[in-house]
Chains A and B, each alone.
Chain A
């Protein structure tokens, strides 16, 4: 049976399209408005409300919780103080990424980790003799992401503590008398927060947030608008930009954090005395420069784009709908170099953009590749320039 999230009653009433998708066995709105692009603009100009409740959530606690996580997560959890959150990954012992998620550190030995897929068995088997308990608390919490330039003002009107939260900060406070956690996290690359409410009180919290949002251009946003924002922000999506090494059939379907552009997580590796899963392999990869490719941004050359469509007698389409599928990239002699995993027309950048796996000798911003797209029922090769992610990165995101 398909399930609904704790916010469903309110959100269903706001869904004008009747379109839902299935996300971890929950109904999740594809879009609420006839145009997801309008929802996208709410993220960039006001705020969008996204229901992230279907994410898996694990409470990890016990005296050895920090030591445990320092060993199983690839990013050093010891750098995440209580009252903070961290974007993190876990790897296999060959240094390939298993999955990613956000971890909240509520106390010295009290953590909550989110994940796109179930991971209880995976982590459970790694506990050994440590004093660590892992429980799945997915259904205990309703999570509402409030994302966009107005998000801080809206939430601090309800819970003043939110006003001072730094990027990836975490606080426990109340909204409409309900005890909630608020983390300054999200999947849009904009200023934004996620409100964690006890599932039973979800509607009370939603109503309070909805109440202060009236007259401010705030609307709920669905999956497509979220994907648009995340591609611009260069945020990775499981089973699109990478696959879990646990379930991959070949190494071609596996990626290392360095290849995914997450090398920044290991900037301090020289001083990091942890033994963590995949650590040796990652050290070897960095030292031996053995990465096979790097996930990079691409910006399609607009003149070339228009020229190719004009030549075909077509009006150049500028479709913001994210294409989360493989499209190949080539050099000038049409030798395949790699492939794009996500692409779209970005309304804010006014360009066609993509996230793509490019060979290491082309990762410098401005390097050129050709992106293969079908035009008028045949393949054409569009000039594209490699660019640093995030492709869109407003100051307010971290300010």
Chain B
């Protein structure tokens, strides 16, 4: 990408819309704006787009999903609206979920329903049909809640008739729900995952597996109130119509953002790499453009921040340009990243003793979280400012189902690690980075004897690395914690959940806005809708 020429005429640097940040939300937003005919510029700080969703060849032939590694919440309408299939969109099925236990046994779920119920029955006969009941109940909640992912939250604090109607419609929808479904929804949205799961199951490994979705990316344990919300969030997605299912994308999540980038460009968006934005230029309370770190400027009546709320409100603009209560809310907005990645290039596929030479169990997630107690103990360490001695690991060997990710016979293994709090007591992540790598490797060794001998290369990404590389404050993977006071009407701040900001023409579309983090694109899409609506109004 050419760097800006300072000599170029202002006209060349004037757009209808400028998007700050080429993560998947910035790209989605830019693509929708371009599709609507706006001359759109996406400015990305790094040498590649994708933000937290990138795939890098860190060793010849080995492609690492450096951070984000699987898809589920991606809104299906984005795939269709932006014609992503034409640009290479290709989710890949995960045919298995493997949950090793500490006693050497395991839970292995696959594609055959009958086989899964037998396998669960091996752990607890009671849990076999309980699993069906659980899925049915949860699906009903998903069906009720899921539409919220595709809607702008109504503004609770506005007297605008349109907002009041939207609010009433929302109320109506919930009132029409079956009592049990509504009650289950509230239990999940406010309670702990452990309470909910205990109502259905006996088996520790099954509960450990299901509860893992309740802690991902968040500083809660399965016994914490609020973990139910995280659980619900992680199962609101789908893979080819299968609710709650996850998939890989060909070439990793970075493969996906490359598809998105091609689609955005095909729709007319211009993407400039290595273009860090220093600040948003405002005049008389209106955004008029952006200034890059090198001093060059670009102009547009619409400027969209695809960064997290801290950067959007406290760094890209002067806090004094904003209402004090908003500044305060954003200062109190919880980031407290607790997740890391440790990725491995492997010389072969690890073996699990109880399964002998079998390797087909690794074709989806391998969940190192054999019980809720294991997860909660991992969380205990984090409460007191340290990383888990025996961390929770969500691992995946994508190269088994996407062989282009590693040379034949070799493998790449992605390990999502919790808990690794951003703020360490009496140390820092520069000092602890490789120790964390050792901790993770030792944990893997305990489940897969001989694992260490397979390691060709190890890449550790701590919350500090996530913050430094991607720009996510405190390394929070969702650009802000999934806590009730930071969701829906309140994401990122009461009164500012509709992608606008107090500065005219300045919008927000990152994961810190509704519905939140994960590779879902909904913030980018919904924000584009608001921007286009405001434009239409202004022109009317």
Contacts and interface: CB of A to CB of B under 8 A. Distances in A.
Interface stretch (A315-323, A330-338, A377-385): A315-323
B240 interface: yes
Contacts of A214: 408-409
Interface in A121-178: 150
Contacts of B129: none
A217 B403 contact: yes
A71 B139 CA distance: 61
Contacts of B404: 45
A373 interface: no
B278 interface: no
Nearest to B402: A45
Interface of B: 76-77, 79-80, 85, 89-93, 95, 110-112, 115, 139, 143, 240-243, 250, 363, 400-404, 408-410
Contacts of A317: 241
A345 B240 contact: yes
Report the 6 A-B pairs with minimum CB-CB distance, sorted nearest first.
Answer: A318-B241, A35-B111, A215-B409, A217-B403, A34-B111, A34-B112
A324 B143 CA distance: 30
Contacts of A248: none
Contact of A345 (B90, B139, B241): B241
Contact of B93 (A35, A215, A351): A35
Contacts, number: 75
Given A45-B404, A350-B85, A33 B111 contact: yes
A302 B80 contact: yes
A33 B402 contact: no
Contacts of B410: 215
Interface in A349-386: 349-351
Contacts of A349: 85
Contacts of A351: 80
B243 A315 contact: yes
A315 B241 contact: yes
A46 B79 contact: no
B76 A350 contact: yes
7 contacts: A37-B93, A45-B403, A216-B403, A217-B400, A303-B80, A347-B91, A347-B93
B235 to A, nearest CB: 13
Interface in A194-212: none
A44 interface: yes
Judged by DSSP, the binding face of A is loop
Contacts of A46: 403
A90 interface: no
B76 A302 contact: yes
A350 B247 CA distance: 13
A40 to B, nearest CB: 8
Contact of B402 (A217, A302, A319, A347): A217
Given A214-B409, A345-B240, A41 B111 contact: no
A395 B400 CA distance: 24
Interface in A285-305: 302-303
Given A214-B408, A315-B243, 9 more contacts: A35-B95, A35-B111, A37-B111, A45-B403, A215-B408, A215-B410, A350-B79, A350-B80, A350-B89
Contacts of B80: 302-303, 350-351
Contacts of B112: 34-35
A38 B400 CA distance: 12
Contacts of B241: 315-319, 345
A348 interface: yes
A34 B408 contact: no
Contacts of B143: 315
B94 to A, nearest CB: 9
Contacts of A345: 240-241
Given A34-B95, A45-B250, A315-B241, A348 B401 contact: no
